[in-house]
Structure formats: C-alpha cells, structure tokens
Amino acid sequence: MPHQIPSYIALHRSGELEKRILQAHKLLEQCTLCPRKCKVNRLAGETGFCKTAGKARVASYNAHFGEETPLVGSSGSGTIFFSYCNLGCVFCQNYSISHHGEGIDIDPGQLAAVMISLQKQGCHNINFVTPTHVVPQILAALPISIDKGLSIPLVYNSSGYDAVDTLRILDGIIDIYMPDFKFWNNQSSKKYSKAPDYPEMARKAITEMHRQVGDLKRDTQGIAVSGLLVRHLVMPGSLDETEQIMKFLASLSPEIYVNVMEQYRPCHKAHEYQQIARSLTPDEYKEALNAAHDAGLHRLEQDGVMRLLDKLHLLGD
C-alpha cells in the first residue's frame, strides 16, 4: 500500500476539524466525554472520576519500541502517556500515572510541539495512550500540529471504556484505534475497575471504532496506516471471559488484529483480590490463544512476535 495521507489533514483544510474541536470542548462544561458522565464543569476547574480539569496532563513521551509490531516498525511508535484515567483498574501496572497523576499539565501548543518532536524523531505514528478523558485537549492541539507539518497516523490507545458519542467526534480524525477489551462480565469490571457497565460500553465502542476504520491496513513495510487493533490482557481464572471476548471480536470481523497479552502480573492493589493475586500460567495463556483460534481469529500478535496465520501462510506461503 502506498503512503496514505491521514484524513485529519483534509478535515482541517475543510474547516470540519474546527467544528469537531468546538463540539468536544463544549462537552467539558458538563463532562460527558466517557460513560461515567460525571457532568462536572471541567472548564471551571471541577474534576470528576478522572481527576482532570481543563488541561491535559502528560507523564512522558518517547519513541516506544514495546508496542505492537505494526506500530513499531524500525523507528518506534510516538507514544504520549496521559496522566490519570477514566477506568481505575486495581491491577494497573502504571498506577503512578493512572491513579496518582504523575506528570505535568500542558497547553495545546505544548502538546503540538510534542507531536512534532516525535514525528521529527522518525516515529511512524502518534500514539495517544489513555486519551479518553482528554479528547478535547488532543483535538485543540491538532491544527497547530498540522500547520507545523504533522502528517503521520494518529493512534487512539484506550481502555475501551469509551462513549460512542465522543468516538463519533473523532470519526475521520483517528486513523488507528487500539482499545483494550478487558472484561466480559459486569461483576468483574465492577470489582476490578469500578465500572459495572464496562462490557456493554466496550462492545459498543469497539463496534463504532470498527465501523469508522475497518480492519487493520499496513503499508509495504508492514507499518499500520489505518484500522482497528484490539488488545486483550488475559487475566488469571478468567478464561471464560476471554472466550466470549474472542467470539465477539470474530463476529465483527475474523480479520480483526488482536494482541492476546500474557504479561499480567499482580500490581497496585491486585494482591487484595484472591483470584488475580497471582501471575498468569503458561497453560492459561495457551488456552487463551486456543480460544482466539477457535473463534476464527487469525491475525494474532502473541509472545511479542507477530504471527499472521492467514490462508496463504497455512497453504505454505
């Protein structure tokens, strides 16, 4: 596939991007950006579950080589880690950022400068990590970035706890969606993330993401240019949920690219919960992979190595 110009550039030229920015900014007055719908006035300094007011807070940014294979390529994914989160998992591996808010507040001009810096480093994309609660702030930085030459794909790297109405504002702006799908059961999401509606919201969000960008597409170098990539962190004792999640993803499209993640370990407050107070076993991970295959999924990333088990490969390509 030849070089693809991101569609956010055309939206900027047409004036549509500015309309989306205003639309998203308006939501901060009674915040309904995410499914929690805290309805606080973040523009006046009020904060809800995500503890974030009018400015985005950034913990770090860098060329990241630990992301999924199609994002990393030879020069890395330009990750921007936003502080705080709208989910609050008890087992979060980055709890100093997501729970404690490690980082500094930045304005749109500073965020634009970060994006341009990552592009100049040769990163293949701009990867917004935990962006759900700062969508308006990200959008406000885009025109500045575009005017300074930003032209690489944008990645929306979220927990999957996203509101469809907010995602619709991002239609044509985000090139690559990379949500988690953590839980299938309401009891699990309530217990571990204080979000009993997570499964329903994640299904709706991922369906909308797929509607917008379709299956993952890559260029001739294997670098992702657009599409959906889903992450699933396999949890101890939760293979029944993994099985249902894989079936759901396959029902959207058997071509969905899925990272079946095995790196769960008990972090933060996970030791307080018996079922998740241990690491995943090799057998559990193997069963999770089998569940993905049985569901009909074949574009899988596992063990840190991309393995596309497509028809050509199976035929001996």
On whether 34 is known to bind a ligand per the annotation, the reply is no
Rounded CA gap, 62 and 44, in Å? 31
Rounded CA gap, 98 and 187, in Å? 22
- β-strand partners of 77: 64
Widest pairwise Cα distance in the chain: 61
Rounded CA gap, 193 and 199, in Å? 11
Give backbone dihedrals phi and psi of 171, rounded to 5 degrees, phi first: -60, 125
- 226 within 8 A of 153, measured Cβ to Cβ: yes
CB atoms within 10 A of CB 275: 13
If phi over 0 gives left and psi between -120 and 50 gives alpha, with beta otherwise, what is residue 185?
beta
Report helix, strand or coil for 37. Answer: coil
Token duo for residue 229: 């990539």
Instruction: Say which DSSP state 230 is in.
Output: E
On whether 38 is known to bind a ligand per the annotation, the reply is no
On whether 89 is known to bind a ligand per the annotation, the reply is yes
Report helix, strand or coil for 63. Answer: strand
* Dihedral angle sign, alpha carbons of residues 106, 112, 113, 117: positive
Annotated binding site for [4Fe-4S] cluster: 85, 89, 92
Annotated binding site: 85, 89, 92
